[in-house]
Amino acid sequence: MADIDTYLKLSFSDIKKQPKEKQIEILEKLVRYHNNKYFIENNPIISDVEFDRLTEELRRLKPNSPVLYELVGEIGSVKHPTPMLSIDKRYSYEDIKKWVEGLDTDKFIVEPKYDGMAARYQNGILATRGNGIYGEDISGRLPYLNVIGELPKNPNISVRGEIIIPNSYFQKHLAGEYKNPRNAVVGIIKAKQIKPAGIKALRDGGVHFVIYDEAKSLKVKKKDILDEEKWEQILESVLSVDYPLDGVVIKIADKKLREKLGATEHHERWQIAYKLPAEKKITTVVDIKNQVGRTGRITGVAVIEPVELSGATVTNVTLHNYDFIEKSKIDIGCKVEVCRAGEVIPFITKVFAKPENKPRIYKIPTHCPICGTPVVKNGKYLECPNKKCPARKSQEFEYFFKSLGVENLGLKTVEKFINEFHIQKITDFYDLKPEQISKLEGFGKKSAHKIVQNIQNTLNGTVTKSQLLQALGIKEIGPATSKLLVKKIQFDRLPYATEEEIIETVEGMGPKKAQYLLKEIKAKWEIVEDLKKRELKFKKEETTDKLAGAKFAITGKKGKYSRDELAKIIEQNGGEYKTTVTKGLDYLIAGPDAGSKLQKAKELGVKIISEDEFLEMMK
């Protein structure tokens, strides 16, 4: 210790005056000492600049000095209080929906599936996952990890997380030393001797410990996951982080329910991983256009230099809302990072600022780009309030026929017909004649006849009442809501329904939304009346009242029928399908490996039947 006390008093110029071998000896002892002060005692006595000066000089004199590659702190072994199991995986949105529908809870957490090193912390001990039963004790590394989230102070509470390096830090400082961020984490955390770049990463706070459930996670409701459009938005939000990922994790938020569900030998039943390897590339924004949707919402679209992502060429990226445009300061000429995960619509995860001396080219619109009407702000969105806006009209018409299953009538064709035939309302399409269409460039007699036939067929028993209600294009009415409204209130009564009926029928519908929905139904009901004058016939659905008034839920693995098929049988026979178990439920159809719904049904006294018993009720 006498040596180190003496060496600490030496200035850098004093060290340089020593013979080379003595310089190396002094520098090695000083670097080792200051490493210990920084990483173990958490009490550095010199600045990072001074420390870097010492290490750089040692590297110049003795490039292979073992001290340069040492990582202080011993790695030991520790047993996990509960096994750290794998996560069960899903590979499609339909599989995600089935899993969520099968759980009797409304609250979930969606977070990134990090591609780093899983670890667990409790009472000062940090351990890797290891084999799930025993992990490596890496507590000596903890003082220099950048913790994202909050470590529990209660010694009885254990939290899990991921040791990971941000993509941006890796690319800037570590890409030349390690193959990828995950490889860098392993090399920095588990090696006894690491590369100088790894030591610098620790000193820079470039190695993170992200705590699950707390950091970078999103709290969502069941209905949000089951709505495909909202699910896309959830994915975009969760995947927009500066970490290497290979999907997302969906988990039950209720910790008591997690305990009740427990685990198999392989995985916990309360969470699943949606495997979605995300590919990211940097490109340049060449233009930003403003598009108007059928509801009047104006959306920015970045036109980018083409990039190949997940097997597709991406040239346009939706910017979704103007809050993002304003905060990110995205502009024409900006470099951006674009992400595409599986089949998910591409989105921008990072915007690189333009030089300060270059003025912003893009201006957020104050007027509708199509009709010139002043825009209105609705939350984080801009909208054109003009219901007669040509852009709204064409997309509304296209949506109507798409919802009714009409083929060969895409947006460009709809726009062409509006302009050429001066179409003012949806039902004007029913007056079109093949000889009119065939005169247009790009349309022959055969295609013209097919378009007219497809439109006329919607009057002849090919469309259900719920389909037509959805086709009206009312913001709050999707496929599920349209079926509920038709079933509970009846189609022809909808324009005369009360707010109370709407609120009672549609889960989560408040007074304001109910008022808006009724106003829109009344405003668009003239379409229905016009079609009725054209002798509209609805598709006859094979229904009975065998299950009238009875409420059913389903749990367990598939038997003769899938969950969706059973739900359809229930609804076709006058019953009501529910995704959760409540006191008002009449029956729970339980298959093999039934989950938490079965236990809850028993507690509430709900009648539990098998699939065979249910099918007997149909006879």
So what's the pLDDT on residue 129? 87
Q: Residue 142 — pLDDT band, cuts 50, 70, 90?
A: confident
What are the Cα distances from residue 309, in Å, to 180, 243, 504? 19, 18, 45
CATH class as words, domain 465-533: mainly alpha
Q: Please determine, for residue 73, whether its predicted confidence score (pLDDT) is greater than 70.
A: no
The strand pair at 134-137 and 278-292 is best described as unpaired
Stronger pLDDT, 265 or 307, i.e. the higher one = 307
Q: Is residue 260 a contact partner of residue 596, using CB atoms and an 8 Å limit? A: yes
For the chain, residues classed under CATH 1.10.287 are: 2-69
Q: Is 484 helix (H, G, I), strand (E, B) or coil?
A: helix
For the chain, residues classed under CATH 3.40.50.10190 are: 551-617
Distance CA 502, CA 524 (A): 17
Matching CATH number, 390-457, of 1.10.150.20, 2.40.33.20, 1.10.375.10, 2.60.40.420: 1.10.150.20
Structure tokens belonging to residue 116: 């780093």
Q: Residue 90 — pLDDT band, cuts 50, 70, 90?
A: confident
Q: Please determine, for residue 75, whether its predicted confidence score (pLDDT) is greater than 60.
A: no
> How many C-beta atoms lie closer than 10 Å to residue 338's C-beta?
21
Distance CA 145, CA 39 (A): 10
Mean per-residue pLDDT, 311-330? 85
* E-strand stretches of 379-475: 381-383
Sheet holding 607-609, edge to edge: 576-577, 551-555, 587-590, 607-609
So what's the pLDDT on residue 41? 65
Residues 6+ apart with CB under 8 A from 2: none
Q: Is 487 helix (H, G, I), strand (E, B) or coil?
A: helix
Distance CA 365, CA 345 (A): 24
Mean per-residue pLDDT, 302-329? 86
What share of the chain in percent tops pLDDT 90?
A: 32
Q: Residue 555 — pLDDT band, cuts 50, 70, 90?
A: confident
- Nearest CA to 411 out of 396, 426, 428 is that of 396
So what's the pLDDT on residue 76? 60
Provide the CA 332 distance to its chain's centre, in angstroms: 27
Q: Please determine, for residue 201, whether its predicted confidence score (pLDDT) is greater than 50.
A: yes
Q: Please determine, for residue 128, whether its predicted confidence score (pLDDT) is greater than 80.
A: yes
Distance CA 228, CA 242 (A): 25
pTM score over 0.95: no
Angle between helices 48-61 and 20-39 (to 10 degrees): 140
Q: Residue 387 — pLDDT band, cuts 50, 70, 90?
A: confident
Question: What does the pLDDT look like over 220-246, one tens digit per residue?
Answer: 999 889 887 788 888 888 888 888 888
Q: Please determine, for residue 31, whether its predicted confidence score (pLDDT) is greater than 90.
A: no
End-to-end CA distance of the chain: 91
Distance CA 6, CA 108 (A): 60
Q: Please determine, for residue 316, whether its predicted confidence score (pLDDT) is greater than 90.
A: yes
Q: Please determine, for residue 164, whether its predicted confidence score (pLDDT) is greater than 90.
A: yes
Average pLDDT taken over every residue of the chain: 86
Mean per-residue pLDDT, 506-535? 89
Least trusted range by pLDDT, from 284-298, 424-438, 559-573:
559-573
Q: Residue 111 — pLDDT band, cuts 50, 70, 90?
A: very high
Q: Please determine, for residue 83, whether its predicted confidence score (pLDDT) is greater than 80.
A: yes
Q: Which fold has domain 76-191+199-275?
A: D-amino Acid Aminotransferase; Chain A, domain 1 (3.30.470)
For the chain, residues classed under CATH 2.40.50.140 are: 278-353+363-383
* E-strand stretches of 174-222: 208-211, 218-221
So what's the pLDDT on residue 342? 60
The strand pair at 278-292 and 297-309 is best described as antiparallel
So what's the pLDDT on residue 2? 52
So what's the pLDDT on residue 42? 60
DSSP state string for 24-65: HHHHHHHHHHHHHHHHTS----S-HHHHHHHHHHHHHH-TT-
Q: Is residue 341 a contact partner of residue 239, using CB atoms and an 8 Å limit? A: yes
CATH class as words, domain 278-353+363-383: mainly beta
Amino acid in position 246? D
The sign of the torsion formed by the CA atoms of 194, 196, 197, 202 equals positive
Q: Which fold has domain 551-617?
A: Rossmann fold (3.40.50)
Q: Residue 192 — pLDDT band, cuts 50, 70, 90?
A: low
The strand pair at 587-590 and 607-609 is best described as parallel
Q: Please determine, for residue 584, whether its predicted confidence score (pLDDT) is greater than 70.
A: yes
Q: Residue 272 — pLDDT band, cuts 50, 70, 90?
A: very high
Distance CA 325, CA 335 (A): 14
Distance CA 605, CA 248 (A): 36
So what's the pLDDT on residue 1? 47
Residues 6+ apart with CB under 8 A from 276: 113, 235, 239, 246, 247, 248, 341, 342, 344
DSSP 8-state class, residue 17: T
Amino acid in position 13? S
What share of the chain in percent tops pLDDT 70?
A: 95
Residues 6+ apart with CB under 8 A from 411: 394, 395, 398
So what's the pLDDT on residue 72? 55
| Most confident of the ranges 138-152, 523-537, 605-619 | 523-537
So what's the pLDDT on residue 357? 75
For the structural domain made of 2-69, what CATH number should be given?
A: 1.10.287
Distance CA 407, CA 409 (A): 6
Q: Please determine, for residue 335, whether its predicted confidence score (pLDDT) is greater than 50.
A: yes
Q: Please determine, for residue 9, whether its predicted confidence score (pLDDT) is greater than 90.
A: no
What are the Cα distances from residue 107, in Å, to 103, 215, 220? 10, 17, 6
